Amino acid sequence: MTRLLVTGGAGFIGSNFVHYMVENSDAHVSVLDALTYAGNRASLDGLPKDRVRFIHGDITDAELVDELFADVDAVVHYAAESHNDNSLHSPRPFLDTNIVGTYTLLEAARKHDRRFHHISTDEVYGDLELDDPQRFTEQTPYNPSSPYSSTKAGSDLLVRAWVRSFGVRATISNCSNNYGPYQHVEKFIPRQITNVIRGIRPKLYGAGENVRDWIHANDHSSAVATILDKGVIGETYLIGADGERNNKDVVELILEIMGQPRDAYDHVTDRAGHDLRYAIDSTKLRTELGWTPSFSDFESGLAATIDWYRENESWWAPAKDATEAFYASKGQ
Ligand SMILES: NC(=O)c1ccc[n+]([C@@H]2O[C@H](COP(=O)([O-])OP(=O)(O)OC[C@H]3O[C@@H](n4cnc5c(N)ncnc54)[C@H](O)[C@@H]3O)[C@@H](O)[C@H]2O)c1
């Protein structure tokens, strides 16, 4: 039996990972989450109380973190300020949580000699041209564009330094864009799905040519579980499922699956410094650790996600009006 501490386990991907581990392992999971606007306790509803414990707290709280690390075998670190748009309007919380928070956890991992896995993003690599045949690999130089991605890049470098300087037993994964259940309605796919459910026209930034490499959150979780089990200490693994799509295609596909005309959406002002294209080459994870994604087909994963938002309006409705009011105030 493994005792895991999952930071940010009430957020989108962290909660998917907690569900995944309860279903696919005998791990006991402690979730540490500050319940910012992005955290939702309800994302952990229905999980067995004898397997999952929730601790409401901040990863920058060194005393609490120290206490929690003493009681577990391994830590998976999801907690972050994660929304690019917010980082453009208010960068400070991104430095506190993503940099100081990660530092606080690393110091505890060092003191207690705990296995540590750091969750990061492909956005640390910057972006690619639309016609560039290359994809990101573990060798791609860091070139982040936004306050969000630069603080994630900084946190990755802290992890590498704590491995090299202090022998912390850590691994890092950089994953492409996730979709699936429990994602906040501020994010691109849930925003469009819940707009259609509410009878609001979807909103597309600019011309919608920006390409993202989509992966279902369940596949991200299985990849992290594989790295925890078989990953080599000090190594970085890129996680992706060959799901490149431009934003215009995604909006049109959502409308089609939801029975609406494919062109029933509006164009809004583009995001400042909007990265053009992300694309992941996950060969290392697949060949060295034997991981494969289960959702190879974006359409079926998207249809399942649309069903989830239709069936779980009580989960997302409380955040919807405030989110749309915020976007409206920015003309988006
Ligand atoms: N969403 C994606 O597509 C994606 C892709 C690759 C990597 N990631 C990474 O995965 C991780 C999780 O992303 P997400 O989309 O689930 O984000 P999210 O915003 O949905 O969840 C973040 C969670 O962290 C918690 N949190 C924030 N600050 C905290 C603090 N100081 N102390 C404790 N808890 C705190 C929030 O309450 C929330 O529950 C992040 O590290 C992100 O960089 C996300």
Say what the pLDDT of residue 122 is. Answer: 96
Structure-token pair, residue 13:
């991907």
Q: How many Cβ atoms sit within 10 Å of the Cβ of residue 331?
A: 7
- Whether 309 is catalytic is no
Q: What is the pLDDT of residues 148-162, one digit of tens each?
A: 999 999 999 999 999
Is the confidence at residue 78, as pLDDT, over 90? yes
- Whether 148 is catalytic is yes
Query: What values do phi and psi take at 95, rounded to 5?
Result: -70, -45
Mapped to the 3 state alphabet, what secondary structure does 6-51 carry? EECCCCHHHHHHHHHHHHHCCCEEEEEECCCCCCCHHHHCCCCCCC
Q: Could you give the residue ranges of the DSSP H alpha helices within the chain?
A: 12-24, 62-70, 84-89, 92-94, 102-112, 147-166, 188-198, 217-230, 247-257, 283-289, 298-311, 313-329
Identify the structural domains of the chain with CATH numbers, from first to last: 3-178+214-239 (3.40.50.720)
Angle (deg, nearest 10), helices 188-198 and 313-329: 100
Q: What is the Cα–Cα distance from 109 to 103, expressed in whole angstroms?
A: 10
Nearest 5 degrees, angle CA 282-CA 193-CA 308?
Answer: 75
Is the confidence at residue 288, as pLDDT, over 90? yes
The residue whose CA has the least distance to atom 11 of ligand 1 is 78
To test the ligand 1 pocket, which listed residue (6, 7, 13, 189) has its Cβ within 8 A of the most ligand atoms?
13
Distances in whole angstroms, Cα of residue 285 to Cα of each of 97, 108, 117: 28, 27, 15
What's the pLDDT band for 275 if we cut at 50, 70, 90? confident
Q: What is the pLDDT of residues 164-188, one digit of tens each?
A: 999 999 999 999 999 999 999 999 9
Name the one residue in this structure whose structure tokens are 């997302």: 316
What is the SS3 assignment for 215? strand
- Our answer on whether the CB atom of 194 is closer than 6 Å to any ligand 1 atom is no
What's the pLDDT band for 1 if we cut at 50, 70, 90? low
Q: Which of 58, 81, 122, 281 is catalytic?
A: 122
Closest residue by Cα to residue 154 from 212, 101, 109:
101
- Our answer on whether the CB atom of 175 is closer than 6 Å to any ligand 1 atom is yes
Say what the pLDDT of residue 328 is. Answer: 84
To test the ligand 1 pocket, which listed residue (31, 65, 78) has its Cβ within 8 A of the most ligand atoms?
78
Say what the pLDDT of residue 268 is. Answer: 87
What is the distance in A from the centroid of ligand 1 to the CA of 81? 6
Structure-token pair, residue 171:
């691994």
- Our answer on whether the CB atom of 126 is closer than 6 Å to any ligand 1 atom is no
What is the distance in A from the centroid of ligand 1 to the CA of 121? 11
Average pLDDT, the chain: 95
Q: What integer is the mean pLDDT of 41-49?
A: 97
Is the confidence at residue 50, as pLDDT, over 80? yes
The residue whose CA has the least distance to atom 18 of ligand 1 is 11
What is the distance in A from the centroid of ligand 1 to the CA of 48? 23
Beta strand pairing call for 236-239 and 170-175: parallel
- Whether 33 is catalytic is no
* CA of 101, closest atom in ligand 1: 31
What is the distance in A from the centroid of ligand 1 to the CA of 31? 13
